[in-house]
Structure 1
Amino acid sequence: MSSAAINIGSGPQDQTPAPIPSVTVSATRDPVDKSYRKMIKGMDRFEREHALAPNATLRFTLLPRISRTKMTGITLRVAGDNITIPVPVAEDNSFVLPRNAQALREDAAVLANRKTNTMTWRVAVHTPGLPEGVRRLGDLRLECKVGMDAGLISNSAPIFGWLSNMLTDTDKVCADPEGNYLFFADRPIFGVTLRHGERTLALPFALLYAAGQQTAESLPYCDCQVLLDRSYYAPVWDKSWPDDTLVEFDYIDKPPGEAP
C-alpha cells in the first residue's frame, strides 16, 4: 500500500465545510450520529449484491476508537423530527437497523449515547459455518460496499484525502488498490493469509496495521486509533481471488496448538 494511497490531495484548507445536520440528545453534548438514509442505502446495497455472500447475514457493529471508550451499556436509537425508534444492541455491540418509512422521510439520525470520535462503526457480513479466525473474501467485499454506502467511515483529517473527491465513490473505493477501506480482525494479528484451493498468499506488511504509516500526529484522526494492531487491508479489488477465498488470521495471542 503506497503512501500515495493515503495522501491523495483533499480540497483547499480554507474551504468552509457544509453544515452537518444532527439531532441533539440531552444526555450527551456531542453525540455519535450517522445518517439513517445512508445506512438504509447500505442495506439496499447488501440486498442488491447479496450474491457476493449468498449465505451471509448483515449486521452493523460498534467498535472503540479511543482507549477510554466504555463499550458496555451502549444505547442506540433512530431519531427524527417526530419519531424515535430504539435499536437493541447485542452484547457484542452489533445491531440490526429497522426499516421505517417515516424515519426516511424525516432524514433521521442514528444516535448512540457516546461522544463523537469515541467509537467507530463497521458492517459485519458473516457467512455461517466458518472456523474461528477465518473470514470469506466475498463477505469482506460486501462489507466494503455496504460500509461505504452507509457512510460509516469516520477518519477526519485532510491526510485521509481518499475519503473525499473521487474516492468517495463506493465502487471506486472497493475496486481499486488505492481505495484503502480498512478492516478490523477480532483480535490483534501477526499475519493474514489468503487461501483458495492450493493457492496461498501471505499479505505483505503494507496491507497490515493501516499500512504501517500512522504517526503520533496522524493516529488520532484514524478510526484505527486503538485498533491498529487489528487492522488490515483485504485485497477486495483483486478479482483473481474469487469470493469464496478464505482469509485466515494468525493472531498474536494465539494459544499453543491453535490452528491458524
Structure 2
Amino acid sequence: MPTVIVPYVRDPVDKSYRKMMAGVARFERERALAPAASLRFRLLPRLPTTDMRGVALRIAGERISVPLALDADHSFVLPRNEEALRDDAAVVANRRADSLTWRAAIHSPGLAPGTRRLGDLRLECRVGIVAGLISNNSPIFGWLSDALSDAGQVCTSADGNYLFFAERPLFAVTVRHGARAEVLPFKMLYAGGRLSAGDLRFCDCQVLLDRSYYAPIFDPAWPDEAVLEFAYMDEPAGGAP
C-alpha cells in the first residue's frame, strides 16, 4: 500500500474506528433497505474557512497507521482491519476538530440526477448514528446526548432531527411515490429554520445550512422506493439548467 504522509495537526478531526465498523456491520444487517447500494463514508466542510483541498485520512492507533484513499467528493470505503480493532484505533483527518463533519453515503444505482431514494436515506441514518458520525452539540439537539447510539430512536421518530445534505443549496424538496407527491414543509428544510446565530456554531450544518433537510424516514406511509426530488436555488424557473 502506498505511503501517505498526514501532517501533524493539533486536536485533529477523528472518529472511533470501532464505532465506524459497527456502522458497517449495521449496513450489512439492514441492507434490504438499499439492496443494490454499497456503503461509503464522506467528509464534508463544517466551517466557512475549511479548505477541503489536500484533505488526507488515515486509520491511526498506537501500533498502526493505514492511509485511506479519498475520492474527488471526499468519500471513502472503510476496510476491515483486525489490528486496528484490537488497537482501538481512530479514523483521523489532517484537519482540526470541528472543521469537518461526517456522513454515511449510500446511493442506489440508476436514480435520476437530483434525486435520493428514501430507503437509502433510512439506512444512512442508522449507519450514521451507530458509527458515531453526528457531532451536533447545540441545545436544540440536546436530546442527542441520550440517543446518539440508539438508531431506532433517532431514525424512526418524527423528532429524530437527523440532518441530510444535498449537493447544492435547496429551494424545495418533493417526496414522490407513484401518483402520490408531497412538498416537504419549510420546517424540514434548513435545519428546521430554528437555529439562532448562537446555535448555528454548534451544528455541523453551519456552512451547509442551505443544503440541509430532514427526510420522512420515520414515516412508514412512504415506502423505501419513494424518491426525494430536489429543486435547487441555482436552477432557473421551469427546470434544471
Query: TM-score, normalised on structure 1?
Result: 0.88
1:187 maps onto 2:168 in alignment: yes
Q: State the alpha-carbon separation in 2 of the partners of residues 57 and 166 from structure 1.
A: 26
Shift of 1:165: 1.6
Which aligned pairs between 1:24-35 and structure 2 lie closer than 5 A?
27-35=8-16
Alpha carbons 2:177, 2:222 under 8 Å: kept: yes
Alpha carbons 2:38, 2:106 under 8 Å: kept: yes
Alpha carbons 1:136, 1:246 under 8 Å: kept: yes
Equivalent residue for 1:8?
none
SS in 2 for 1:63: strand
SS in 1 for 2:113: coil
Q: State the alpha-carbon separation in 1 of the partners of residues 7 and 228 from structure 2.
A: 43
SS in 2 for 1:217: helix
SS in 2 for 1:130: coil
**Moved runs in structure 1, 4+ residues, more than 2 A?**
156-159, 255-260
Match among 6, 19, 30 for residue 49 of structure 1: 30
Task: Count residues in correspondence.
Answer: 236
- RMSD over equivalenced CA pairs, Å: 1.5
Going from structure 1 to structure 2, the CA distance change for 1:129 and 1:165 (only over 3 Å counts) comes to same
SS in 2 for 1:135: strand
What amino acid maps onto 2:158 in structure 1? P
Going from structure 1 to structure 2, the CA distance change for 1:225 and 1:182 (only over 3 Å counts) comes to same
Q: State the alpha-carbon separation in 2 of the partners of residues 26 and 87 from structure 1.
A: 14
Shift of 1:159: 3.5
Alpha carbons 2:129, 2:148 under 8 Å: kept: no
Alpha carbons 1:184, 1:231 under 8 Å: kept: yes
Alpha carbons 1:78, 1:111 under 8 Å: kept: yes
Q: State the alpha-carbon separation in 1 of the partners of residues 94 and 148 from structure 2.
A: 30
Q: State the alpha-carbon separation in 2 of the partners of residues 215 and 166 from structure 1.
A: 23
What amino acid maps onto 1:176 in structure 2? S
SS in 1 for 2:13: strand
Match among 121, 141, 146 for residue 140 of structure 1: 121
Q: State the alpha-carbon separation in 2 of the partners of residues 119 and 259 from structure 1.
A: 30
Shift of 1:258: 3.4
Query: What percent of counterpart residues are identical?
Result: 62
Which aligned pairs between 1:67-216 and structure 2 lie closer than 5 A?
67-166=48-147, 168-216=149-197
SS in 1 for 2:137: coil
Gaps of 5+ in 1: 1-24
Q: State the alpha-carbon separation in 1 of the partners of residues 110 and 29 from structure 2.
A: 23
1:36 maps onto 2:17 in alignment: yes
Gaps of 5+ in 2: 1-5
Equivalent residue for 1:61?
42
Equivalent residue for 2:205?
224
Equivalent residue for 1:5?
none
Shift of 1:255: 4.5
SS in 2 for 1:210: helix
SS in 1 for 2:229: strand
Equivalent residue for 1:20?
none
Alpha carbons 1:167, 1:179 under 8 Å: kept: no
Alpha carbons 1:191, 1:251 under 8 Å: kept: yes
Q: State the alpha-carbon separation in 1 of the partners of residues 147 and 98 from structure 2.
A: 24
Alpha carbons 2:102, 2:134 under 8 Å: kept: yes
Which aligned pairs between 1:6-17 and structure 2 lie closer than 5 A?
none
